[in-house]
Structure 1
Amino acid sequence: MTRVHDVVILGATGFTGKLAAQYMARAYPPSSATPVRWAIAGRSADKLRDVLGTLGTAVDIVVCDLSDNDALERLVKSTSVVACYAGTPFIDKALPVVELCARHGTHYVDITGELPMHRASYDRYHDACKASGALVLHGCGFDSVPSDIGAFLAAGAMRERHDCGCSLIKMYYGKSSGGFSGGTLATIIALINADASMPGGKEVKQRGAYALDPVDGHGGPDTGSFGSPIVGYDRVGKTWVAPFVMAPTNAPVVRKSNAQLDYAYGRNMRYAEVMALPSLFAAVAVAVGLAAVGFAIVVPPIRALLFYARLLPRPGEGPSKQQQDEGFFASTAVAVGERGKEQLVTKAHVNSGNAGDPGYKATALMSMECALCLALQRDKCRAEGGVVTTAVGLGSVLVDRLNAAGMDVGVDK
């Protein structure tokens, strides 16, 4: 099988797909010390040419409609890695791509935080990926790289420094700046309105906090979606906290990593995510604001009014270039030693550095660096194929690439 490309960006005409292509053109031009054979793909040749015109470099264009299985199969067989941005939502577009990647030993990354997509992908194609050697990684952007890699580093430091597991890993998301796109909003609405027939949906609901655990996972002590929903003062992090809106997506990913790593973080580890805030007033304000936004999105008449007033973005709309460039995020993972050793604490950080806003520019960087781990350093990644997490599949290889790309990721002293 001839692989003419290292990476193909599928869905390159979408909001985040364009950013991924622009990142590649900027970070890995033909003159780069690390040459990469990459291409952009989508269903419209005209739109792909428009994207190409913004890149300042020549790359291949692959016209491929996801409903055309033959064309999709040719694309999958032509590349080492498919980086998929064809979502809104992913569940009804990306599963056929995963199926073909699993069959042909092509690696796959995407940026979806859709838990039913993660679950269905694992249940349907994990064994096929093991047979072909393909690594399939979902959630390779702000959902859920900082959480997954932060926990991986903090737990690893606990083992290395103290030779013990963790009773708790808690992720604290601090100051950040960014926006959200119409595509993300459309995905949220689609999932809210989805019926019970959605692939993976019933299984996610049944498994609760351990929605993504492998079939042989034993679960653990966590309950609920947020892990730590209380507004108040957090003694572990020594900060005021409020619920973090992405915790229901990120937490099951971290728990899956622990299970797939044979519970290296701790067999009875609890995991939680919160927003770190400077005062009780700020924590209450954030919690009330999140509740209000959630209510407005869930109730159709209010949502329609906000769209009409252009207070919510439509598909294809998102944060401005200035917001993307000036955006940032900071996060800290705190690990507490296992029972009897709770006085032991290790910390790790995942900060944006110069990557930009979390949901879009930094997500484009993180996801493409995940793809490049597989395209250029496959021998240093997980040897066995499968539907796994970034921590399990890439681990320290991704840490090194993120730092080299301008982010700030590591274990605290």
Structure 2
Amino acid sequence: MTFDVVVLGATGFTGRLACEYLAQRAQKGDVKPVSWAMAGRDLQKLEGIKGELPEVAKEVPLLKVDVKKIEELKEIAKKAKVILNFAGSPYADKALPVVEACASNGCCYVDITGEAPFAKTSAELYDAKAKETKSLILHMCGFDSIPCDIAAFMVAKEMRKRYGMGCSKIRAAVLKTSVGVSGGTIYSGIHMLTTDQENAEAWKDPYGMEPPGGLRGPDRCDGGDTNLPRWDELNERWVMMSPLSNPSVRTVRRSNALMGYEYGQGLSYGEGMAVPGPVSGWLGTTAMGMVVLSLALFPTRWALQRWVLPAPGQGPSRKTLEEGYFTVRTVGRGEKEVDGKNPTVAAQVQSGSGGDPGYKCTALMAVESALCCALQRSACAEGGVHTPASGLGQTLVDRLNDAGMKLFVEPRTEVQDVHSLFSPHAVWTHRGRGSYGSRKLMLRYA
């Protein structure tokens, strides 16, 4: 039997949400029914997860597989069009055998990692083989980094359509978000801080994920890749470093390179999280730095893991999952002047009915990415290690809109100076508030 999608790591927090989403799609009556299976090490746990799904999922097959056993993975890859992999936390020490199995057997691969060093290693080891077998390997298919990657794709595409040029600069701003935090995400971060130092250069280099021969760009010197609070002239607001920006900016730059620099050969790309002003930006940056330091040092890390942070497999409440949201706004400036002024294009990616960005909406984005490969393979890139934008492009935009998210290019405005894009009263204001309890942590910006 051949499956459209095999969900690997189905007993993990986000893996369970992906299974739930697939079951709900079937319950609503898909235009194209999807054949799928749940895979993991423990059949008893898989059976328990399946028992919690809608009745329509009662016939879904369960596959026993250990991610450390390459032969078992290869057998699964032979039976699937796509392996949707949630067996991470971190992916760096678990997922490369899964990528190898897929690349060797012409099976597509999708995951939700935000680990840039892992994605870089995956490309170095398996891009050539994946191209040979026409296996499409897609990393970063969750909140890391679909919203910013796809928004940049939409802006660059519209700039070409409207003005026949690439972009000299693209800036993304997370305008608002309410997101829960799971143990898996935290433990992936701890792994990168404490045990993945050999791949630290992939984090430090703004172009650490570019393919061989990439042109690189000017981002080091113009505020496109800084961790400090700054004024975003295209979005006309103050921004601070986003927790997602490190993998996301590298993903966008890899997209541009893989697409032959369609976005612009001298493109400067950057992103941040909107804040009311420089003071709140510096306070937020300081607080974020203290959190990172606390996780990097053993005594404080131990105390946080013991009494505050969720354990692996734990995550936000159902209420948080349903009520979560995000909006990313991305603005591009054209490479050339038109009538003495700079043309600009803006696009937005919103969660819509997708829910919590880090988990419920991430499951949605990952499943729809996998379904692009399973059901619309000819509309995707031929093969190789790609990004969501370079591998799926408009096909993914359309599927996410159909799934209840909101992705759109803002209506055309007159060509103008970027500082007149907003009226003063249009600037977003926010309040930050957080809550935490025993073994739970939630961040909210609204």
Could you state the TM-score of these two structures normalised by the residue count of structure 1? 0.94
**For residues 154-169 of structure 1, what are the structure 2 equivalents within 5 Å?**
154-169=155-170
Partner of 1:397: 395
**Deviation (angstroms), 1:223:** 2.2
**SS of structure 1 residue aligned to 2:27:** coil
1:189-230 Cα deviation digits (max 9, x unpaired): 111122555xxx26626x811011111212111228971434
Partner of 1:227: 225
Q: Distance in 2 between matches of 1:295 and 1:212?
A: 25
Q: Structure 1 residues 229, 192: CA separation in 2 closer, same or farther (over 3 Å shift)?
A: closer
Candidates 39, 60, 64, aligned match of 1:41: 39
Name the aligned partner's letter for residue 370 of structure 1. Answer: S
Name the aligned partner's letter for residue 359 of structure 2. Answer: Y
1:297-338 Cα deviation digits (max 9, x unpaired): 1121112122232x2111111111110100000001100111
1:42-80 Cα deviation digits (max 9, x unpaired): 000010001101112221111111122222111110010
Q: Structure 1 residues 132, 89: CA separation in 2 closer, same or farther (over 3 Å shift)?
A: same
Partner of 2:116: 115
**SS of structure 2 residue aligned to 1:312:** coil
Task: Say yes or no: does 1:313 pair with 2:314.
Answer: no
Out of 237-246 and 273-282, give the one that drifted further: 273-282
Q: Structure 1 residues 196, 247: CA separation in 2 closer, same or farther (over 3 Å shift)?
A: closer
Contact 1:208 1:223 in 2 (8 A): no
Partner of 1:302: 300
Partner of 2:235: 237
Name the aligned partner's letter for residue 334 of structure 2. Answer: G
**SS of structure 2 residue aligned to 1:244:** coil
Aligned length: 405
1:324-366 Cα deviation digits (max 9, x unpaired): 1000000011001115466111011100001011100000000
Q: Distance in 2 between matches of 1:226 and 1:262?
A: 21
Partner of 1:412: 410
Could you state the TM-score of these two structures normalised by the residue count of structure 2? 0.87
Q: Distance in 2 between matches of 1:276 and 1:30?
A: 37
Q: Distance in 2 between matches of 1:154 and 1:32?
A: 30
Partner of 1:352: 351
Partner of 1:265: 263
Q: Distance in 2 between matches of 1:159 and 1:95?
A: 37
Contact 1:226 1:243 in 2 (8 A): no
Task: Say yes or no: does 1:73 pair with 2:74.
Answer: yes
Partner of 2:385: 387
**For residues 71-150 of structure 1, what are the structure 2 equivalents within 5 Å?**
71-150=72-151
Contact 1:181 1:315 in 2 (8 A): yes
Name the aligned partner's letter for residue 353 of structure 1. Answer: G
Contact 1:111 1:141 in 2 (8 A): yes
Query: Percent of aligned pairs with the same residue?
Result: 41
Contact 1:28 1:34 in 2 (8 A): no
Name the aligned partner's letter for residue 4 of structure 1. Answer: T
Partner of 2:419: none
**SS of structure 2 residue aligned to 1:350:** strand
Q: Distance in 1 between matches of 2:5 and 2:232?
A: 43
Task: Say yes or no: does 1:327 pair with 2:324.
Answer: yes
Q: Structure 1 residues 189, 331: CA separation in 2 closer, same or farther (over 3 Å shift)?
A: same
Name the aligned partner's letter for residue 23 of structure 1. Answer: Y
Partner of 2:438: none
Name the aligned partner's letter for residue 109 of structure 2. Answer: Y
**Deviation (angstroms), 1:385:** 0.6
Out of 362-371 and 62-71, give the one that drifted further: 62-71
Task: Say yes or no: does 1:28 pair with 2:26.
Answer: yes
Task: Say yes or no: does 1:19 pair with 2:17.
Answer: yes
